[in-house]
Amino acid sequence: MGTYILKRIMSIIPVFLLATFLTSGMIHLSPVDPAEAYLTAAHIQPTDEILTQKRHEFGLDEPFLIQYVNSIIKICQLDFGISYVSNKPVWDEVTYRMPATIQLALGSILIAVFVSVPLGFLAGVKKNSLIDHFSRFLSFLGASIPSFWLGYIFIFFFSVKLDLFPVEGIGTWQHLVLPSITLALPLIAMYTRLLRASVLENLQEPYVLFARTRGIKEKTIMAKHVLRIAISPMITGLGMNLGKLLTGTIIVEAVFSWPGFGRYFIEAIFNRDIPVIQCYVLIAASLFIISSLFVDLIQMCIDPRISRKEGQQ
């Protein structure tokens, strides 16, 4: 178990290197010079003197590989550099905005779990019932409506027309409701269907029949056995989706003026603010790796068969 975790943690390093290399490479290949982008965004006419000065300041006059190695060395010292745009340390800028994004992500996970677990479970147990049809309808909606459009619809009805929630911003719990639901709906769509399929599959398993013959109450079988095993793919999905969730916040943050990291990242892309882009990629990559590690560990706890397999290996 310990060795396994260590092995997984060590695997973060090559992924990091690859992610940073790809990002740097893509930025390097982009037809736009970051120094030029900086000046354009600042409404400064880019004269050659300013361009040379800025390129030197950003370290862009070095060969690509040297730029890359330098950035890696700095990252190892937890120095993500200075934002080209704001002239402030990227790490400070990111940590200032991170709590808002985490709050939004957690809010939507919470909603997604609380809605999709009962809904998916009941849809599976009561196949073709009204609740099953409802869950299917909700899933279609969630999977097909783009987040930004859903956000506008929510704002229009619940803020402008009914005045139940604020249009935008952050501060009170009311501010969190609409953006969280907007972000949660695609997750609800996915997890509900995932859990339903998994429940249906598990109902065919011999252990259910065995439990019934032992005379265990149907409710107990469902809650203690079926749900526990069936929830496993959903947890995997949840873990795999954490990174996706981070990227999903970008759109929702823009629509609801949520002052998080996603919005900041979008601006960074437009401004070719390389240190910020790199920092974002690193955070996203580590979130993917760490969340999948956590998912594996949780699954080991839930389903002993997995840890036995690991042990045999």
Partner 1 sequence: MVNGGTRQRKLFLTAFILLLSTFLFGCTNASDASKPKGEDNNMLVIAWPRDVGEMNPHVYNPSQLFAQSMVYEPLVSYQNGGELKPHLAESWEISGDGKEYTFHLRQDVKFSDGTNFNAEIVKKNFDAILNNVELHSWLGFISKIDHTEVIDENTFKLTLTEPYYPTIQELAVVRPVRFLGEAGFPEDGDTAKGVVEPIGTGPWILEEHKADEYAIYKRNENYWGELPKVEKIKVKIIPDAETRVLAFEKGDIDLLYGEGVISIDAFKQLESTDNYKTSISEPVATRQLVINTKKAQLSDERVRQALHYGFNKEAMVNGITSGYEEKADHILPANLPYTKDIDVKSIGYDAEKAKTLLDEAGWTLPKGKTVREKDGQLLEIEMMYNSAESIQKVMAETLQSEWAAIGVKLNIVGVELTEQVQRFKDNKFDINFFSNYGAPYDPHTFLNIVASEGFGFNEAISAYPNKDELLKQMSEVPMTTDEELRQQLYSSILKSIQDQGAIIPISYLKKTAIYQKDITNFTFPANRDEHPFTGISIEHK
Contact range with partner 1 by CB under 8 A, out of 11-19, 188-196, 208-216, 301-309: 301-309
Q: How many residues does the chain have?
A: 313
Would the CA dihedral through 164, 170, 173, 176 be positive or negative? positive
Contacting partner 1 (CB under 8 A), which of 19, 90, 94, 100?
100
| Residue 248 Cα distances to 38, 195, 244, 268, angstroms | 26, 22, 6, 17
- Options 58-66, 183-191, 238-246, 300-308: segment touching partner 1 (CB under 8 A): 300-308
* Interface with partner 1 in residues 237-296 (CB under 8 A): 254-257, 259, 263-264, 267, 270-272
* Conformation bin of residue 163: beta by default, left when phi > 0, alpha when psi is -120 to 50: left
**Closest separation between CB of residue 101 and partner 1, Å?**
11
213 binds partner 1 (CB under 8 A): no
Is 307 one of the binding residues for partner 1 (CB under 8 A)? no
Q: Specify whether the CB–CB gap between 275 and 82 falls below 8 A.
A: yes
d(CA 119, CA 191): 9
Residue 2 binding partner 1, by CB under 8 A: no
Tell me if 139 contacts partner 1 by CB under 8 A.
Answer: no
> What are the tokens at 84?
């080209």
What binding mask, one character per residue, do residues 58-97 give for partner 1 by CB under 8 A, x or -?
---------------------------xxx--------xx
Distance CA 242, CA 98 (A): 14
Q: Where are the alpha helices (DSSP H) in 164-260?
A: 173-203, 206-213, 218-220, 227-255
220 binds partner 1 (CB under 8 A): no
**Residue 159 lies near partner 1 (rule: CB under 8 A):** yes
3-state helix, strand, coil in the chain (%, to 5): 80, 0, 20
Closest contact distance (angstroms) between CB of 260 and partner 1 is 8
Of 41 and 240, which has the nearer Cβ to partner 1? 41
Cα–Cα distance, 279 to 96 (Å, whole number): 14
- Told to check if 121 binds partner 1 by CB under 8 A, we report no
Of 191, 172, 184, the closest CA to residue 111 belongs to 184
Q: Which of 41, 98, 216, 287 lies at the binding interface for partner 1 (CB under 8 A)?
A: 41
Using CB under 8 A as the criterion, which residues of the chain lie in contact with partner 1 when the complex forms? Answer: 31-33, 36-38, 40-50, 53, 85-87, 96-97, 99-100, 102-103, 106-107, 110, 152, 155-156, 159-160, 163, 166-173, 175-176, 254-257, 259, 263-264, 267, 270-272, 298, 301-302, 304
